Amino acid sequence: MRIVVLLKPVPDPGEERLGADGRLDRSVSPVINGNDEYVLEAALKLVEAGGGEITLLSMAPAGVTDPIRKALAMGATRAVLVSDPALAGACTWTTVQVLAAALRTLEFDLVVAGIDTSDGGGGVVAAGIATLLELPYLSNARRIEPFEGGVRVERLSPAGHDLLEASLPAIVSGTQLLGEPRYPSLRGIMGARSKEIAVRTLADIGLADRPVGGAHATTAMLDARPPASRGSTRVVRDLEPAAAAAAIVDFLVERRAL
């Protein structure tokens, strides 16, 4: 199977900060978005079991390639990085259009995406791409398997799970339940050095004259402020169990929670 993994480099959770321009500073300790690492692992297993290749597709600033190198070291075949100065400050709708346009230039049977991103994404990009490309969309996967020339997915539902089937090509978004991602091996790391990261501009993917990018953002952040501080921690130690329980009850009463 030819699989494209939508892989977003994000600032390491906990390290995110705004730059001087008021936008998320994407150069801060970039890592692979957590959920994207799970779907990459699922893609690697599918290819190991049934053959094929994996193309990583990212939209990110040109300098932010460490996470892509890591994914190549884990076993992806090649990477395409859409990078263009005009994309700084892009909104979700731009991301959808850019990734969809880039996918039009690639050959694939299956696209996999993370269920959401840790840097403020809301899990809407993959559904948007599927709509623009008119592909079947199977979301919230906890299991992905090939099935009679198509794909079968167990989708988490509020009640349990739904079993979904679709023909290929299709887009699947997946969760942590797909399984723990592997660590890159030493051989993988060495091999990744010679793998290609093809950088594409908006013009390269046919969007030069389209209203996409920061200048056409559909949303704007108007204000950012720190939340009210939590106040100091009350530390309690060396209590008998009953006294410890009473300390919790008293605290909850004080906070009007009981």
Partner 1 sequence: MGGIWVVGEVDASGALTKLSAEAATAARALGEAGHLDVTGLIVAAEPDRAAASLATFLPVVLAVRAPEAMDCPAAAVVAARVAALAGAAEQPPAWFVLGASPDGRDLAGVLSALLEIGVLVGATGLAWGDAADGVPAGPRVEMQPFGGRLLTTSGFTGDRGIILLRPNMVAAEPLAAPGRVEERSVEAVTDPPAVRVVERVAAEAAGPSIEEARVIVSGGRGVGGPEGFAGLRELAGLLGGAVGATRAAVDAGWIDYATQIGQTGKTVKPAIYLAFGVSGAIQHKVGMQTAETIVAVNRDPDAPIGEFADLFLIADLATVVPALIAALRARTG
Ligand X SMILES: Nc1ncnc2c1ncn2[C@@H]1O[C@H](COP(=O)(O)O)[C@@H](O)[C@H]1O
Contacts to partner 1 from residues 165-184, by CB under 8 A = 165-167, 170, 175-177, 180
Please report the sign of the dihedral spanned by the C-alpha atoms of residue 73, residue 74, residue 78, residue 79. Answer: negative
118 binding partner (options ligand X, partner 1, none; Cβ < 5 to 8 Å by kind): partner 1
Determine the length of the chain: 258
How far apart, in Å, are the Cα atoms of 55 and each of 79, 82, 143, 188, 211? 5, 13, 20, 16, 27
Per-residue b or e along 190-225, where b marks 16 or more CB atoms closer than 10 Å to that residue's CB: eebeebebeebebebbebeeeebbbeebeeeeeeee
Among positions 54-73, residues that touch ligand X (CB under 6 A) are 57-60
Among 4, 46, 126, 202, binds ligand X (CB under 6 A): 126
Residues in contact with ligand X, total (CB under 6 A)?
A: 22
Smallest gap, in angstroms, from Cβ of residue 89 to ligand X?
Answer: 13
Smallest gap, in angstroms, from Cβ of residue 92 to ligand X?
Answer: 6
User: By CB under 8 A, is residue 139 in contact with partner 1?
Assistant: yes
Among 55, 65, 83, 95, binds ligand X (CB under 6 A): 95
User: By CB under 6 A, is residue 140 in contact with ligand X?
Assistant: no
CB 100 within 8 A of CB 67: no
Pick the stretch among 5-13, 44-52, 71-79, 244-252 that binds ligand X (CB under 6 A): 5-13
Best CA proximity match to 97, nearest among 108, 84, 110: 84
User: By CB under 8 A, is residue 138 in contact with partner 1?
Assistant: yes
Please report the sign of the dihedral spanned by the C-alpha atoms of residue 40, residue 41, residue 46, residue 47. Answer: positive
User: By CB under 6 A, is residue 114 in contact with ligand X?
Assistant: yes
Pick the stretch among 39-47, 54-62, 200-208, 214-222 that binds partner 1 (CB under 8 A): 214-222
